[in-house]
Structure 1
């Protein structure tokens, strides 16, 4: 339950923005213009109400609420078609949302307690981590069905595809390990059931293995060991016959590179788009750590706020935004200057973060207050809270999809 102080703060904020919208209308006043026929939506999964809230980011208003399965968790956007996918943990299903019509058009059965979904770059296949069945589902998105299952470690929580499409990295929270699979990149006519060829390697010694990032060149993966105070750095096998493999044959095998000491309970990794640095949210240390990916070294650990839970880096690699769930705020760190650059107030217990397509807006899911804080990332006075939009109960993930009307 929110405290009286938080409740009164939220009521005041909502009332203030209701007056603002009445004065200036619902359109993104003083924001960059968008071309005719342009639409952009944010999709918010609400674990406590079994719904997805659809927000119109052009007119900054709630578009509609969609009923999905029970306990929706993570979502994914198809990069080549106008679809969004929702993993429903308690239902053991994936909901398919048509982004043109903003309605649920299919439900795909997978295994027990799906916790994470990712879509390959061609948009034809998805991979689902099934926390309750120690497996990964391979889903054919053209046929809208599960076509194969691969065994993983205990309680897999995330699956990630390397940018070159050759590798699938699975983090196993229960067995404190990471599984690495070979993938066959999609080609027309190839069966999706054969996309995972075999388990290539397994790495133990990562307590509470959780969040993962893979470098843009597919050479390394970094895994947050959330039940401890380290990040595992892994070298991913180079393609046989590649320049790297010819220069150094040992690079054709996956290998442990380092266990890097960070703060307590590292829960999230935010990577610069250029892949040069990773920022680790250390939940129990009220800090973040900065990792240089080229040298696999921790450059430093810095205070950021109370209970940092998630981070995101701007497209120009200049700014880190961190959700401080215990402080009801977003902390800003200037990467270029190497110092804190301020904070922005949000609703209660901010968590998931997502930029709008043009990055003029940062969307923040406020888990306890059940709403989305919309922050202007640029302005005369710097970043500031612009409005708060309603979501459902316990929002836990946000994805954004932009599309053009035909």
Structure 2
């Protein structure tokens, strides 16, 4: 079955948009603009910007804590996590994660009410109380700690250590490391799919997405995509996976179960991450190289089947002769050879 998609809008949001979070019910998207040191709110229906809020320097990820309607950014060059009111953009807190930590990744456990920050230079994970907005502990990881995925059902977190080529598995309640999983160079983003019970890891240096079992931690397979995959999201029903190929300016659409790439979506330059609007099914992509947010309409829906070609298509016009309706004289197709003409077929019954 052929698949199709349609780009709905390209919204200018500011310099270096690296990440996007969606509140489908409130009809808003939130974009972290790393070079503008800001978060921008976008109306999902009108595609208009609603507000812009200053945060720390170089906000790379942004996550939405839906129960409290709060936004969290990890501000890499300020060594802070900034907290905003998602409704107004008002700054609620700025949380220090340690001098020289370079926080570049975030994870969220809405059940435990915790936000986890991956500190790239420090090789640690900072745990933050999502309600009190205070640091509650630190977990040792490895150099390059960044993106964090949370398996709330098992109480486990997975921190992608970009430089160490590994995942740090940790207990999200006790805040202690449980395991180390080697995944090769350059793991950039980790995402949990609770429907398939899989963990997906974007291997940006080898243009692959690794699929692991959440139950055992076993590497199941490697899914080939285009150049430098850095961002991933899953569809709400868990059936599809979308991978941002930073080096190619595309998003690969994969079947989550088989890993089969069904098609590729051309977006802006340097796509950093993506998210799904669960109400409309639209895919949102933050393009760090184009300073835009791309909205794509229903990229996983089946498209129309290509119509079958007629047997006469592409062949020379057959010779024919017909009487002229006005004069009765016989006219042949040879009279119009190598000429432009219009034939009007009319039938009456």
With structure 2 as the length reference, what TM-score do the two structures score? Answer: 0.69
Asked if 1:256 corresponds to 2:177, the answer is yes
Q: 1:355 to 1:149 in 2, by over 3 A?
A: closer
**How many Å apart are 1:374 and its aligned residue?**
6.1
What residue is the counterpart of 1:133 in the other structure?
78
For 1:151 and 1:265, the matched residues in 2 are separated by 26
Match of 2:108 among 148, 161, 170: 161
For 1:340 and 1:266, the matched residues in 2 are separated by 21
Q: 1:347 to 1:293 in 2, by over 3 A?
A: same
Which residues of 2 match residues 375-390 of structure 1 at below 5 A? 376-379=299-302
Aligned Cα root-mean-square deviation (Å):
3.8
In structure 2, the residue corresponding to 1:210 is in which secondary structure? strand
Asked if 1:283 corresponds to 2:204, the answer is yes
For 1:329 and 1:142, the matched residues in 2 are separated by 31
Match of 2:55 among 101, 105, 110: 110
Q: 1:81 to 1:231 in 2, by over 3 A?
A: same
Which structure shows the bigger proportion of residues in helix conformation? 1
Asked if 1:171 corresponds to 2:92, the answer is no
Q: Matched residue pairs, number?
A: 298
Compare CA radii of gyration and give the structure with the larger one: 2
> Which range moves more in the overlay, 298-307 or 268-277?
298-307
Deviations 1:279-338 (CA, angstroms, capped at 9, x unpaired)? 1121222322222112233234454444333333344434434344456655555443x4
> Which range moves more in the overlay, 143-152 or 68-77?
68-77
* Residues 324 and 330 in structure 1, CA contact (< 8 A), matched pair in contact too: yes
For 1:360 and 1:292, the matched residues in 2 are separated by 27
Q: 1:131 to 1:321 in 2, by over 3 A?
A: closer
* Residues 22 and 276 in structure 2, CA contact (< 8 A), matched pair in contact too: no
Q: 1:326 to 1:103 in 2, by over 3 A?
A: closer
> Which range moves more in the overlay, 199-208 or 296-305?
296-305
Deviations 1:341-365 (CA, angstroms, capped at 9, x unpaired)? 5543636766334445368665666
**How many Å apart are 1:222 and its aligned residue?**
1.0
What residue is the counterpart of 1:208 in the other structure?
144
Which residues of 2 match residues 322-401 of structure 1 at below 5 A? 322-326=243-247, 330-331=251-252, 333-336=254-257, 338=258, 340-344=260-264, 346=266, 351=271, 352-355=273-276, 357=278, 362=283, 372=294, 376-379=299-302
Q: 1:363 to 1:375 in 2, by over 3 A?
A: farther
Which residues of 2 match residues 17-32 of structure 1 at below 5 A? none
With structure 1 as the length reference, what TM-score do the two structures score? Answer: 0.61
Q: 1:137 to 1:269 in 2, by over 3 A?
A: same
Q: 1:111 to 1:305 in 2, by over 3 A?
A: closer
For 2:86 and 2:269, the matched residues in 1 are separated by 34
Q: 1:168 to 1:203 in 2, by over 3 A?
A: same
Q: 1:201 to 1:74 in 2, by over 3 A?
A: same
Which residues of 2 match residues 219-238 of structure 1 at below 5 A? 219-237=155-173
Q: 1:165 to 1:82 in 2, by over 3 A?
A: farther
Asked if 1:299 corresponds to 2:220, the answer is yes
Which residues of 2 match residues 7-18 of structure 1 at below 5 A? none
Asked if 1:94 corresponds to 2:66, the answer is no
* Residues 166 and 184 in structure 2, CA contact (< 8 A), matched pair in contact too: yes
Q: 1:282 to 1:146 in 2, by over 3 A?
A: same
Mark the runs of 5 or more structure 2 residues left unpaired by the alignment. 306-349
For 2:17 and 2:247, the matched residues in 1 are separated by 23
> Which range moves more in the overlay, 266-275 or 80-89?
80-89
Which structure has more RCO (C-alpha within 8 Å, separation ≥ 6)? 2
Mark the runs of 5 or more structure 1 residues left unpaired by the alignment. 1-29, 32-56, 185-194, 238-252, 383-406
For 1:79 and 1:342, the matched residues in 2 are separated by 25
Match of 2:133 among 196, 200, 203: 196
Asked if 1:120 corresponds to 2:56, the answer is no
Q: 1:322 to 1:119 in 2, by over 3 A?
A: closer
For 1:157 and 1:139, the matched residues in 2 are separated by 17
For 1:377 and 1:342, the matched residues in 2 are separated by 8
